[in-house]
Structure 1
Amino acid sequence: MSPTRRGVRGRRCGAVLLAAVLAGGATGCGSGSGAPPAPGAPGTTAVPSAPRDDPRPGQVLVRVTVTGGFAGVRNRLVVHRDGAWTVISGDKPPRTGRQTPAEAAELRAALEDPAFALVPARPTGRPIADGFQYEVAYRHRVVVAGDGERPPALQRVFDALPEGGPPTSP
């Protein structure tokens, strides 16, 4: 093989190797059988699993993170498509529950409301001292709002959340 051909093949195998390593598969470059090593075999690394309290993105309907306030909270509420929800507040044990089918439908309707799509992605007003900041992640969109900045469509989402709204207790 000529040096030029070998250089092209080397770059191509390098790209294939990088993609395979990232995907956890075999490369097909170089010698060997081309079969991926067995899980746990020497020289392999296990892919970390997702944390228990943060399910795969396809299962999550909405994620609300609340930060700030006088006590400096950082709380997270995750609501799943089936209405199951989890609140994580500091180092306290997670609280869980499940919305009724009607409550889950109300939350989905509030999130899918065209008016919610028009809520500004970032706060537009002045921050309130010791106020809360709310980050609402729905599908591929994140809306950040502060206390005092609740357009009606965002308030409708807050009203449909489990436990009466975003988790603000420390």
Structure 2
Amino acid sequence: MRGLRVVGAALVSVVVLCACGAGGGSGEASASPSAGVSASPSGAPSPAPSASPSPSPSPSPAESLVRMTRTGGFAGRTSSVLVKGDGSWTRLDGNAKPAGSGKLTPQELERLRSALTAADFAHLPRVSKSGTPVYDGFEYTLVHGGFEVVTADGSVPPALQDVLSALPPPEG
């Protein structure tokens, strides 16, 4: 009987440790080591029901604030810029290899955050390419706050123009 208790305690410890590490590596500690775990009627641990997620206005410094991928142009190039919540950014080439990095100044980061808020990604059309086509122009895919929008030169909504101008350049 004692051996069964030891095995049960070890199993609960493993589940609790796994639940604490399941936060995606954001570096934020859980308020309780057993958060997200409850006991079922049989005594075995089971995931607790989760509350509906609410969008976070400010991601933690390690989380992505916005990602922009630009494709096309005369040479048909692809490049991306990923900006994190602390303003650090990484530029990726068409093969998703690092091609530069840096950090926005506090003023640049505030300008970008303001432009992202004003753009209201939740209410933008997912694809905005209704304007006059620009041959050899660029297509932009932006991801922010769980929403992805696609637009192209000649049909970029004004709110996204502000976001694009606040981002680090996609090529160095």
- Contact 1:122–1:144 (CA under 8 A) maintained in structure 2: yes
Find the residue that maps to 2:68 and give its secondary structure.
strand
Equivalent residues in 2 for 1:42-121, closer than 5 Å: 59-90=63-94, 93-113=98-118, 117-121=122-126
Aligned mate of 1:132, from 120, 132, 138: 138
Dislocated runs of 4+, deviation >4 Å: 33-36, 114-117
Against the structure 1 CA distance between its residues 83 and 153, is the aligned structure 2 distance closer, same or farther, given a 3 Å change threshold? same
- Contact 2:142–2:148 (CA under 8 A) maintained in structure 1: yes
Mean CA deviation greater in 59-68 or 107-116:
107-116
Post-superposition shift, 1:90? 3.0
**Deviation string for 1:67-90 (max 9, x for gaps)?**
112211111100011110011123
Distance 1:87 1:114 in 2: 22
Find the residue that maps to 2:128 and give its secondary structure.
coil
Partner in structure 1 of residue 164 of structure 2: 158
* Residue 153 (structure 2) pairs with residue 147 (structure 1): yes
Post-superposition shift, 1:114? 5.4
Distance 1:78 1:114 in 2: 18
Distance 2:121 2:76 in 1: 28
Q: Which amino acid in structure 2 is aligned with residue 72 of structure 1? A: G
Post-superposition shift, 1:147? 0.8
Task: Say what the alpha-carbon RMSD is for the aligned residues.
Answer: 3.3
- Contact 2:61–2:85 (CA under 8 A) maintained in structure 1: no
- Contact 1:116–1:153 (CA under 8 A) maintained in structure 2: no
| TM-score, scaled to structure 2 | 0.58
Post-superposition shift, 1:146? 0.6
- Contact 2:115–2:163 (CA under 8 A) maintained in structure 1: yes
Q: Which amino acid in structure 2 is aligned with residue 161 of structure 1? A: L
Against the structure 1 CA distance between its residues 58 and 139, is the aligned structure 2 distance closer, same or farther, given a 3 Å change threshold? farther
Partner in structure 1 of residue 32 of structure 2: none
Distance 1:152 1:114 in 2: 8
Post-superposition shift, 1:162? 1.7
Identical aligned residues as a percent: 44
The structure whose residues are more often strand, as a share, is 2
**Deviation string for 1:99-131 (max 9, x for gaps)?**
001110110111011555443220232643322
- Contact 1:79–1:86 (CA under 8 A) maintained in structure 2: yes
Distance 2:134 2:90 in 1: 28
Partner in structure 2 of residue 122 of structure 1: 127
